[in-house]
Homo-oligomer: A and B are copies of this chain.
Amino acid sequence: MTQLTVYLAGQIHDNWRDDISHKVAQLNLPITFVGPQTNHDRSDDIGEAILGEQPNSYYRDNAASNINNLRTQVLMNKADVVIALFGEKYKQWNTAMDASAAVTMNKPLIIVRPKDLIHPLKELSNKANVTVETVDQAVEILKYIYE
């Protein structure tokens, strides 16, 4: 069976990635999952942790995003499919950024979002291959690729 790498873009405040990878493992699909740093503090601190203390919070954020963007670029370049999950909270512009980059690089995109977000996500949903409401639906799509 064809090996696939799937990048999981989106919030890092609950364990939705584990949920997907667990369900896919149960289905015995040959899929490797990659994604951002999911430890939120580590993600915010990584700039100063590696580059040293920065002059202010603006530069602290910039230092962290330098390294987080490098990580995303390395791993998304490896991805065959991107799943981007949007939730109720946070601005999630980095999720939109990753989703749009995927589409522009001709990588198939699945968006997962609750019904409440239909209107604000309509342009991005329209560019995605498929938009679903639950991670289980995303897993069903991955499963369908192998049927």
Interface residues, chain A, with chain B CB atoms under 8 Å away:
2, 4-5, 32, 34, 37, 39, 42, 46, 49-51, 55-59, 61-62, 64-75, 77-78, 80-81, 86, 90-94, 96-101, 103-106, 108, 110, 117-127, 129-130, 132, 137, 140-141, 144-145, 147
Contacts and interface: CB of A to CB of B under 8 A. Distances in A.
Q: What number of copies of this chain does the assembly contain? A: 8
Contact of A74 (B104, B108, B126): B108
A125 to B, nearest CB: 7
Contact of A144 (B34, B37, B118): B37
A69 B121 contact: no
Contacts of A100: 96-101, 104
